[in-house]
Amino acid sequence: MNKMILLIALPLLAAFLIPVVARFSATVSRLLGPAVLAFVLVFVALQWSVVGRDSFAIFIGGFLPPVGIVFYVDHFSLMFSAIIAAMLLVVWPWGQYTPVRQQSLYMLLAASSFGLVLSSDLFNLYVFYELLAVATYGLVANQSHKAAPAAALRYLFVSCAGSVMLLIGIAIIYTITGTLNIAHLATMIGKLHGLAGLSAFILIAVGAGVKAEMFPVNSWVPEVYGTSSKSLSALLAGLISKLAVVLILRVSLMLFQVDVALDLLLIVGILGVLSGEMVAWRAKDVTRMLSFSSIAQLGLIFVALSLSGTIGLWLAVGLMLHHLLVKGGLFLLADSMHGSFSTLKGLARKSPILGAVFLIFIFSLLGIPPFPGFWIKLMLVINLAQQGDVLYQLAIGVVLFATVIEASYLFKLVRIIYQKGDENIIEPHQTSTSGMNLLYAKFFALIVVVSMPFVSPISDRLKDMSRQSVNVENYIETIMDQPKSGGQS
């Protein structure tokens, strides 16, 4: 099982090797990153059967918890590892003239992402979160748009403020308990549910919420998305934001399943849904519309997380997977446009397949039956209705109202795509990168369509995985109850 460390070690090694190899062979250097990611996909698939219904822990260097570094492996960490590798393959810069530093940054992002989903102590979560931040800053600043450096600088300032809040929250927890191992902390949660502990959770949630596009610390979103390539925007919206949610999710599920913490997630979720949809409704270009729509979708995920235990995790992960496919696909499609409504006019008449792909994503995003988005939204509303708190009843109204607003601007997009356009309309770019993006967008749409008959078994499987992941007793036993001679290292 100690081979799991390869998920972090290989991308880190590749990040340093790519510039060296590029001096001798540009072709080999361009293929090194994808080869590592493909290996990770195969490796994770093999590990899936090993995990079975049991999780396991890896102790780095042979030091046992709570002192040593611990990686916790279950089906969710493996699933997110596979998603990370697959998403990075989708957005990998295949172009012949892609800067070597950009390829290295993608590998650094991969290593930090794998570390983030595997880590089981707050210190290493913070370290990998910061490595992820460094890679993201570099990718945003490395865009060709003239405003990209300014957008990256704003992203840097906001993220630094979030990182400071995250670090202070972790420091408060260490001051209270004397440990940062999450399983060890779970044995003393009574100490964390006082004013100081809850303040620490708020700092951690808001600090990580910067990258999770949480309201109100998401002011960077439209500027960064507007200056980034749409493939990078797909990565930010589809993956990076979800990794920040995973950090919040890990801390919340294991340590802070109390009313105050859950109410905080619900309130920021409601505000995120409302603010995101209202601004998206007024958007004057496609990129801005999609970026604020992403804020609203992340708000829905926080609303789901406010439901405690298995149900909250099940719904949150379902929403994350759906948003990754649908919004990631829309950003990849937008890569072939110029980011304005005028360039979309009549698109479906010139390319019926692209028009159909747009419709699939839009209908699923809206929650129109029988698309997967309908069932996940329905389950969310049903479970919100089963809560007695007035805040949850308010959340139902917000979700339904937001769906109406969302329908108004997305159907405007559909009307533009299908109306008769200028014969001289600019055709979608056919560069190698945009051609690959269109291919991947079609593949995402195919996944959405093919999954429709299998929503129930997929949902049941996610619920089983959620039940395993929220089992705090099993989590503590797997990590803490190890023989004195050492666990897996």
pLDDT at 338: 53
Nearest partner of 355 among 399, 398, 419, judged by Cα: 419
Q: Do the Cβ atoms of 286 and 201 come closer than 8 Å? A: no
At CB < 8 A and 24+ separation, what contacts does 317-322 make?
317/76, 317/462, 317/465, 317/466, 318/376, 318/379, 318/459, 318/462, 319/376, 319/380, 320/242, 320/245, 321/83, 322/364, 322/372, 322/373, 322/376
pLDDT at 337: 59
> Where does residue 288 fall: left (phi above 0), alpha (psi -120 to 50 degrees), or beta otherwise?
alpha
pLDDT at 218: 78
d(CA 489, CA 487): 6
pLDDT at 489: 47
Q: Do the Cβ atoms of 336 and 287 come closer than 8 Å? A: no
Both ends of the chain: CA-CA distance in Å? Answer: 8
pLDDT at 336: 60
pLDDT at 403: 92
Q: Do the Cβ atoms of 67 and 489 come closer than 8 Å? A: no
Collect all residues with Cβ–Cβ distance below 8 Å to 284 and sequence separation of at least 6: 341
d(CA 291, CA 476): 39
Q: Would you give the DSSP letter of residue 285?
A: B
Q: Do the Cβ atoms of 369 and 241 come closer than 8 Å? A: no
Q: Do the Cβ atoms of 354 and 418 come closer than 8 Å? A: no
Token pair recorded at residue 388: 């007695």
d(CA 300, CA 317): 11
CA atoms in the 13 A half-sphere facing the CB of 95: 15
Collect all residues with Cβ–Cβ distance below 8 Å to 53 and sequence separation of at least 6: 468
> Can you tell me whether residue 59 is helix, strand or coil?
strand
> Can you tell me whether residue 485 is helix, strand or coil?
coil
Token pair recorded at residue 342: 């005028």
pLDDT along the chain (489 residues), means of 10: 82 90 82 90 84 74 73 88 89 71 89 91 91 88 78 85 92 92 88 88 90 80 76 80 88 86 90 90 82 88 89 91 87 67 71 85 90 91 88 92 91 81 51 68 89 89 86 83 51
